[in-house]
Structure 1
Amino acid sequence: MNQHTDINEVRAFHARLMAVASGSRDHRLERIFESVPREAFLGAGPWKIMVNNRYVETPSVDPVYLYQNILVGLDPAKGINNGEPFLHARWIGAVAPKSGETIVHIGAGVGYYTAILSMLSLPDGSVHAFEIEASLARRALDTLKPFEGVTVIQGDATRLPLPSCDLIYVNAGVVSSPGPWLKALRVGGRIIFPWRPSQQLGAALMMTRTEAGFTVQFLGPAWFIPCVGASDPEGCVTPPSLSQVRTVRAAWLIEDKTPDDTAIAVCRDVWFSDRAG
């Protein structure tokens, strides 16, 4: 990189790209993406960047290398990374975090995207960040100190109680969303997660709670490391085909409604239909 490259200029341009990638008209996004420096969360460089399932080390500690649409290794030995910015921009645009909302972030890592979510929840909002890896949770506790309304919880979010919330943002692949997560959502609340109903499928879904059940939107392919506690292959009794995943429109908790002949996928706690609810 040119030694005269201005990191603030690079960060500002990256933030503009992120705002465009979000597909959102929320005027706050570009400013917030610019104000949260990615390098503050990733530790001292050089950093390991994943390309084609291999890690490549940056040639120096210049943070300009981080402002690309890249995965950056947090714990390369375990395949744990800080996720691709444009994917997260699209997700954030889709779930549209609002001021005053209560947000749960599952798989928070070192807290980079937690920080962005927390700023979008201001004023009067809060973020409960769950991270099962103790070393990453300790780092998140440190990096998130400057951010208001953030609580970091080290532990298994599939076993710990979730607060009543407006948004659940999941950064680990689940075979099926646990029932307690869905029941924690208030009416109008959203959950976005990487759905892994079978080894062959990886899809981003957004579910929005209604009075009767959930509307569901397919947001494209997504591949994340498995979520501890929610990645048992037996968790999806009847997985969908790739074409069926793209047609999902609604879902219900099995305890609330028995699967009917419109079901395209039946999981442990929830089932999915290609018919609007």
Structure 2
Amino acid sequence: MSGSTDPRLPQAFASVPREAFVGPGPWRLSVYQKYFETPDADPACLYQNILLALDADKGINNGEPFLHAIWIAAVSPKAGDTICHIGAGTGYYTAILSVLALPGGSVKAFEVEEALAEKARDNLRPFENVSVTPGDATQLPLPPSDLIYVNAGVAALPPSWLNALRPRGRMIFPWRPSQDVALAIVISRRKAGFSVKPLMNAYFIPCVGASETSECTKIPDWGEARSMRSVWLTSDRAPDETAVAIYKRVWFSSAEIPEDA
């Protein structure tokens, strides 16, 4: 289903029980933006491709497993990777990422909602290669990272996230430059710059600190968004005729980045 050939991916999902991260049942499931309570507390209710409420009043959910399997496959976490998980919720997908980082890797999770961050810290205690930081990851320093995995809708990409990527590092996030465009994209750091690959439609709640569109002087439509192939810091290179979206500190281009030699 994910398209991955890595046998560790289904093993990681199988090894991490979803019910350990979402509190006692019955649970509230989101279907077509409406919540429905499960008939009982049977964990079998959780093992379907469905959103699960973490904070229904704020629209915060534990995301669809199929979507996350596709995303994780797209960025290929490896043993020994340093991973940042931004928007960790209560830690379910953090735990899966931490399994894939073993042996030798680690996950630093960020969660801006303090109550969820506390639950994530408790839920993730058995995972010794994980730390949880409550707070705004657009303002806090990120460690040098092989992978940055973002689970909140980003309008204006923080330059600090790009700068945190190590050579050949990857980042995936749901890009929301306007109400009309919602697209998951994968960024890879290469010798010549940052390449961009559009992945799939993706709708997430806004990312605190990165959801402001007022800094955007060029907003893409769907066709332009899908044409993106690179992203640049404006401090490194001024926007040119290939610009698809322009912000104060970053801009997206339709120009390809050459593969590393």
Q: TM-score, normalised by structure 2?
A: 0.97
Identify the residue that residue 247 of structure 1 maps to in structure 2.
227
Identify the residue that residue 96 of structure 2 maps to in structure 1.
116
Identify the residue that residue 73 of structure 1 maps to in structure 2.
53
- 1:139 is paired with a residue of what secondary structure? helix
1:256 and 2:229 aligned: no
| Aligned length in residues | 257
Unaligned runs of 5+ in 2: none
Identify the residue that residue 210 of structure 1 maps to in structure 2.
190
Shift in Å at residue 269 of structure 1? 2.1
- Give the distance between the partners of 1:186 and 1:31, measured in 2 at CA: 27
- Give the distance between the partners of 1:49 and 1:92, measured in 2 at CA: 23
Unaligned runs of 5+ in 1: 1-20
Shift in Å at residue 200 of structure 1? 1.2
1:51 and 2:31 aligned: yes
- Give the distance between the partners of 1:23 and 1:112, measured in 2 at CA: 21
1:190 and 2:190 aligned: no
Moved over 2 A (4+): none
Identify the residue that residue 22 of structure 2 maps to in structure 1.
42
- 1:202 is paired with a residue of what secondary structure? strand
- Give the distance between the partners of 1:107 and 1:202, measured in 2 at CA: 17
Aligned pairs (5 A) from 1:5-154: 21-154=1-134
RMSD between aligned alpha carbons? 0.8
* 1:104–1:127 CA contact under 8 A, matched in 2: yes
Residues 156-205 of structure 1, C-alpha deviations (whole Å, 9 max, x = no match): 10111110111000000010210001100011001100001111111000
- 1:135 is paired with a residue of what secondary structure? helix
Q: TM-score, normalised by structure 1?
A: 0.91
Shift in Å at residue 236 of structure 1? 2.3
Give the letter for the 1:177 counterpart.
Answer: L
Shift in Å at residue 32 of structure 1? 1.1
Shift in Å at residue 271 of structure 1? 1.1
Q: Percent identity?
A: 59
Identify the residue that residue 5 of structure 1 maps to in structure 2.
none
Task: Identify the structure with the greater helix proportion.
Answer: 1
- 1:245 is paired with a residue of what secondary structure? helix
Select between 192-201 and 232-241 the one with higher mean Cα deviation: 232-241
